[in-house]
Structure 1
Amino acid sequence: PGLRDNALLAGALAEISGQPEPAQLLNVARQLLQGHVFLRVKGDARALLAEGKDLPLAIATRGDEQLVLAYSSGHALTKSVEADGDRDTSAMGQPVMALLKHVLAGPYAGVVLDHASDDARAVLPSALLERMVSEADPDLRIKTALSEKRTESTASTVAEAILAGAPLWIAVAQSEDGGPVGVAESRSATGERFLEVFSHPLELLALGRGDQPVPLQNEQLAKALVGDAGLTGLLVDPAGPWIRLTREHLTGLIALAD
Structure 2
Amino acid sequence: MPVATATDNDYTVPALFRGLTILEMFNSRDRVLTVQDFADRLGITISAIYRIVTTLTEMNYLEKVAKNTYQLGPQVISNGFSYLASRDVVDIAMPHLTALRNTVSMSCHLSIREGSDAVYIYRSFAAQRLSVNVPVGTRIPCHCCAMGRVLLMGLTDLELERLYQHVRLDGYSLPAPRTLPELKETIEQDHLRGWVEHRSDYATSIAMPLRDHHNQIVAAVNISGPDALMSDDRQKQHAREALFASAQRISFELGNLRKMSEKITCR
TM-score interval for Structure 1 and Structure 2 normalised by the shorter chain: under 0.3
The answer to which structure has the higher strand fraction is 1
Highest RCO, 1 vs 2 (Cα 8 Å, sep ≥ 6): 1
- Whose radius of gyration is greater, 1 or 2? 2
TM-score by length of 1: 0.23
TM-score by length of 2: 0.23
